[in-house]
Amino acid sequence: MPKLKTKIPIKMHRDIDKSLIWATNREQGQIRSISITKTPDDRYYLNVLVRREIKPLKPTNKTAGIDVGIKEFAIIHDGESTYHIENPKYLQKAEKKLIKLQRQLSRKQKGSKNWEKARQKVAKQHQKIVNQRKDFLHKVSSVIIKQYDAIVVESLNIKGMIQNQKLSKQIADVSWYEFLRQLEYKAKWYGRQIIKADRFYPSSKTCNVCGYKNDQLTLSVRKWQCPICRTIHDRDENASKNLYQIGVAHLTNLRFEPAERQRTSGRVGTTRAKACGAGSVGGQLASSQLTTRHPAVKQETSQKLESLQSEQAPQFIEE
Ligand SMILES: [Zn+2]
């Protein structure tokens, strides 16, 4: 540091490639700036901004619909398999601890010594959760970006908004926005596409098989049976399948076809919809029915979501 005579010891979270320091061109990557930030729990971080060329990933010809759940972090459907990503246990524990610490803080006299101590504990725990969650979200978003060309998400965290517990709602909102932010910038880096479903598209209420809309479905109902086609739905799996179908429709520029043709055409798969232009899709889907499978969503059984090599890795449980 320019004004300090002594050196400051640092803890490296990530190695900096030595070649970066002396690199002079873009291909090698260049350090653009270094800054120091202080977090609310009085830790200092050294941020190194590096410029580097990123090559787009090869197409996988796969599309995914992602439904962000309440109990589970997310459910992914890719036309072939459905994956459940659980919220990591360490995170749930840390969140419980934060609630406890906040309760303790509320009992202390504001401005007192004990209050100050408790306040610091809350700040520290809060920062710990922010870091852990960010790390978890980075791992999940990276795996998803690697595996899929197109990723469909809802444009608003409706479930987070409905939850009434103040803190869990806050955490759900923050992590959902952070997850979307990561997906979006990584998609730009690696040449992937993020498709946001219309904010009013009822992904949980719509039967992914026949398109029936179940208006009676409340948030507490986890499983329901479609009265029209008799399919039994897991609420969140059904939502992820609908989002997947929106993605397929969006990519294929489908036009509405009469439902009759579907029986005679002999094709498999279900996609109700016509794709529309860029931006939000899905609001106008769900009425007519047709079947087509996008050539980009070939059923490749060899490709599975690769598991992450870390003890903190999210679990992809295939059903
Ligand atoms: Zn149905």
Q: Ligand 1 center to residue 37 CA distance, Å?
A: 53
Encode pLDDT of 254-308 as tens digits.
444 444 444 433 333 333 433 333 344 443 333 333 333 333 233 332 233 433 3
Q: Which of 95, 149, 198, 236 does the annotation list as catalytic?
A: 236
Domain boundaries, the chain: 1-53, 63-301
The verdict on whether 237 is a catalytic residue reads: no
Distance 229 CA to ligand 1 centre (A): 4
Q: What angle do CA 60, 62, 65 make, to 5 degrees?
A: 140
Q: Please write the tens of the pLDDT for every residue from 157-194.
A: 555 555 555 556 666 667 888 899 999 999 999 999 99
Pairing of strands 63-68, 150-154: parallel
Q: Which of 95, 154, 198, 237 is labelled catalytic? A: 154
Distances in Å between the alpha carbon of 69 and those of 78, 156, 219?
17, 12, 11
Q: Give the tokens for residue 259.
A: 């439902």
Which pLDDT belongs to residue 274? 37
The model carries a pTM of 0.68
131 in Cβ contact with 121 (< 8 Å): no
How far is 59 from 152, CA to CA, in rounded Å?
16
Q: How far is the CA of 264 from the centre of ligand 1 (A)?
A: 20
The per-residue pLDDT for 159 is 57
Long-range contacts of 29-33 (CB under 8 A, 24+ apart): 29/53
What's the rounded mean pLDDT across residues 3-11?
Answer: 77
67 is catalytic: yes
Q: How confident is the model at residue 209 (pLDDT cuts 50, 70, 90)?
A: very high
In this structure, are residues 27 and 53 in contact, taking their beta carbons and an 8 Å threshold?
A: yes
Asked whether the predicted pLDDT for residue 102 surpasses 90, the reply is: yes
Q: How far is CA 4 from CA 7, 33, 35, 306, in A?
A: 7, 19, 15, 47
**Which residues, including other chains, have CB under 8 Å from residue 186's CB and lie 6 or more apart?**
141, 142, 145, 192
**pLDDT at position 315 over 50:** no
Q: pLDDT digits over 288-300, tens only?
A: 333 333 332 333 3
On the question of pLDDT at 312 being above 80, the answer is no
Q: Give per-residue pLDDT as tens, 14-53.
A: 766 665 665 555 555 677 788 888 877 777 888 888 777 8
Nearest to 242 by CA among 21, 94, 63: 63
The structure tokens 């009822």 sit at 202
Which of 67, 95, 198, 237 is catalytic? The answer is 67
pLDDT at 91: 87
Query: 194 has which bridge partners?
Result: 151
What is the average pLDDT across 41-67?
86
Asked if residue 80 lies in contact with residue 300, where contact means CB atoms within 8 angstroms, the answer is yes
Mean pLDDT of 145-168: 73
Write down the pLDDT at residue 57: 93
Is 154 catalytic? The answer is: yes
- Gap from CA of 211 to ligand 1 centroid (Å): 6
In this prediction, residue 251 carries a pLDDT of: 83
pLDDT digits (tens, 9 = 90+) for 211-236: 999 999 887 888 999 999 999 999 99
Average pLDDT of the chain to the nearest whole number: 75
What is the rounded radius of gyration, in angstroms, for the C-alpha atoms of the chain?
23
